[in-house]
Amino acid sequence: MNAIGKIGIEEVGLPDARILIGGTWREGRGGEITSIYPADRSTNMTLRGASAEDVEEAIDRAQQAAADPAWRNLLPHQRAALLHRISDGITRHAERIAQVQSRDTGKTLAETSALAASAAGTFRYFAAVLETEEEALTPSRGNYLTMSVHEPIGVVAGITPWNSPIASDAQKLAPALAAGNAVLMKPASWSPLVSLVLARICEEAGLPPGLLSVLPGRGDIVGDLLVTHPAIGKVSFTGGTEVGRGIARKAAEKLMPVSLELGGKSPTIVFEDADLDTAVAGIMFGIFSSTGQSCIAGSRLLVQRAVHDRFLDLLVRRTKALRVGHPADPATQVAPMIRDPHRDSVERAIAAAVAEGGTILCGGTRPEGADYDAGIYLLPTIIAGLPNSARTCQEEIFGPVLHVQPFDTEEEAIALSNESSYGLACGIWTGDFRRAWRVGRGVGTGTVWVNTYKQFSISTPFGGIKDSGLGREKGRQGLRAWTQQKSFYIDTSAQPHPWAGLAP
Ligand code: NAD
């Protein structure tokens, strides 16, 4: 393996061990969190996460900061200017963000560089939405002016997973700040670093103190308090379905709006009239990029029987040729996985697939060699031979594991796609656009990709249905989701209400 690219611990500008609690950078009072480099398991750094007291302190400060007229009365174009400065800061520090995130998660530098650029774009986009947003003057049914305005919720929270930290952070933080809130972010314990770097950038850009806290720490302490605390008016959560369900229950108790971006088991469907080269490239990218650690990973492949064997042969040959390697090597396509316990769980899922009758067509094991032994690698794996009802086809594995299955008709492809508790995304590969439209309308998922996969645009809403989540992020409505609506009735008649009988 080549190890090109600057990502050595001495070259990467890791943050210091302080966290941001209500405008103050200091050591947390919670348990220790260790960030490791998944390519060789070396320690990046250890910091202390937030305790429940730290969260309380951050919430108190956030309440004051959110109510401060200096923030609350800032005009939309002034808040937009702040978001632009944050975007510029992300762009200026993009290389460092990419390096820190690669060290923290093991993702390739190519991927983390793209994530940094996308985070900068997210802040720019919500600045533009904010400046162009209009309020509605509604048709009046009497002698009054009726209108509806959107106001900040107050103090809100974002809870994020480890797989794409800067993108998840930006997707929540940019619209939440644009809407005028104070925000508490809780990154995942396996990837706390980049959120701290982003917080420094926000501070440099002039975000007033107290409006942002970054509180790494335990989900069942820090995360839970953010959900249950009476002062928090909304939580946007990205993570696993079971944790999300628990959050929804607690949010229901206090009647708090939540947005839940959860897991997936997304089908990709290859019809016999598809361009097979394009399809094979898209399918491989859809499941094996990010080493399959992606909510939208296309992990269930359905191939029309007429091309099934030919397609599978092509897919297996090309998958075997994928370059598994070091995150800093520009040639790497499949980087290490985040942590040993996570790889263990993916390996258990592969063993379970074999136990339930599946055949491994490639991968299924760790790559061999000293460089690989040092890191948390797993070969891209293709499994066949199971019915859609098998656990392998129903449960999210969150690793580089694809199951392939044949189908005969369009109706069958739709039915198989929909036989799932999840509903996040679907890929359709066909030369017939009418068919793509029919199938796309028939599948129960929040996103449909046609002849492409895993493409994103901040202007296009994203989210899932069924066990994949609740609500949408991104898009123009992404800003409104962080506001509460207030309606005004303003009398224009200057007459007492006739009911009172005061009129002459
Ligand atoms: P996770 O659910 O274990 O953790 C996510 C976050 O929630 C972490 O910050 C964690 O500390 C916190 N948390 C844990 N318990 C909590 C509790 N009781 N209360 C409040 N917060 C709590 O998920 P993960 O392992 O970090 O990430 C992988 C999962 O995320 C996968 O299921 C993946 O599909 C999903 N995901 C979804 C999307 C999407 O947009 N739909 C995107 C990325 C990841």
CATH 3.40.605.10 in the chain, residue ranges: 19-28+52-262+468-487
Two structure tokens written together for 141:
């049914």
Query: For residue 211, what pLDDT band results from cuts at 50, 70 and 90?
Result: very high
CB 417 within 8 A of CB 298: no
C-alpha distance from residue 340 to each of 4, 333, 344, 355, 381 (Å): 24, 20, 6, 22, 17
Q: Is the CB of 223 under 6 A from ligand 1?
A: yes
Question: For 8-26, what is the mean pLDDT?
Answer: 91
User: Among 107, 172, 234, 474, which one carries the catalytic annotation?
Assistant: 172
How close is the Cα of 403 to the center of ligand 1, in Å?
Answer: 24
Give the rounded percent of residues in the chain with a pLDDT score beyond 70.
98
> CATH homologous superfamily of domain 19-28+52-262+468-487?
Aldehyde Dehydrogenase; Chain A, domain 1 (3.40.605.10)
Q: Is the CB of 422 under 6 A from ligand 1?
A: no
What residue type is assigned to position 336 of the chain?
P
Residue 473 is a catalytic residue: yes
Predicted confidence (pLDDT) at residue 5 exceeds the cutoff of 90: no
Predicted confidence (pLDDT) at residue 369 exceeds the cutoff of 80: yes
Query: For residue 4, what pLDDT band results from cuts at 50, 70 and 90?
Result: very low
> Residue 213 has what pLDDT?
98
Total residue length of the chain: 504
Residue 393 is a catalytic residue: no
> Residue 10 has what pLDDT?
79
Architecture of domain 267-450: 3-Layer(aba) Sandwich (3.40)
Going by their DSSP bridges, the two strands 144-152 and 136-138 should be labelled as: antiparallel
Query: For residue 212, what pLDDT band results from cuts at 50, 70 and 90?
Result: very high
Q: Which helix (H) or strand (E) holds 401?
A: strand 401-407
How close is the Cα of 52 to the center of ligand 1, in Å?
Answer: 19
3-class DSSP state of 1: coil
Residue 172 is a catalytic residue: yes
Q: Is the CB of 160 under 6 A from ligand 1?
A: yes
How close is the Cα of 20 to the center of ligand 1, in Å?
Answer: 21
Tens digits of residue pLDDT in 319-349: 999 999 999 999 999 999 999 999 999 999 9
Only one residue has tokens 């491989």, namely 284
Question: For 281-310, what is the mean pLDDT?
Answer: 98
Ligand 1, atom 24: closest residue by C-alpha: 161
Q: Which helix (H) or strand (E) holds 156?
A: strand 155-159
Q: Is the CB of 214 under 6 A from ligand 1?
A: no
Tens digits of residue pLDDT in 405-448: 999 999 999 999 999 999 999 999 999 999 999 999 999 999 99
Tens digits of residue pLDDT in 70-111: 999 999 999 999 999 999 999 999 999 999 999 999 999 999
**This prediction's pTM:** 0.97
- DSSP calls for 280-318: HHHHHHHHHGGGG-STT---EEEEEHHHHHHHHHHHHHH
Residue 297, C-beta contacts closer than 8 angstroms, at least 6 positions apart? 264, 266, 286, 287, 290, 398
Predicted confidence (pLDDT) at residue 360 exceeds the cutoff of 50: yes
Question: For 113-127, what is the mean pLDDT?
Answer: 98
Helical residues (DSSP H) of 335-380, grouped into ranges: 340-355, 370-374
Tens digits of residue pLDDT in 29-46: 999 999 999 999 999 999
Helical residues (DSSP H) of 213-291, grouped into ranges: 224-228, 241-253, 276-288
- CA 220, CA 39: separation in Å to the nearest integer? 29
How many helices (H) and strands (E) in the chain?
Answer: 17, 22
CATH 3.40.309.10 in the chain, residue ranges: 267-450
What residue type is assigned to position 386 of the chain?
L
> Residue 504 has what pLDDT?
66
Predicted confidence (pLDDT) at residue 6 exceeds the cutoff of 70: no
Q: Is the CB of 238 under 6 A from ligand 1?
A: yes
Residue 246, C-beta contacts closer than 8 angstroms, at least 6 positions apart? none
Predicted confidence (pLDDT) at residue 2 exceeds the cutoff of 70: no
Residue 203 is a catalytic residue: no
Q: Is the CB of 219 under 6 A from ligand 1?
A: yes
- CA 122, CA 135: separation in Å to the nearest integer? 22
Q: Side-chain half-sphere of 316: how many Cα atoms within 13 Å?
A: 17
Ligand 1, atom 9: closest residue by C-alpha: 188
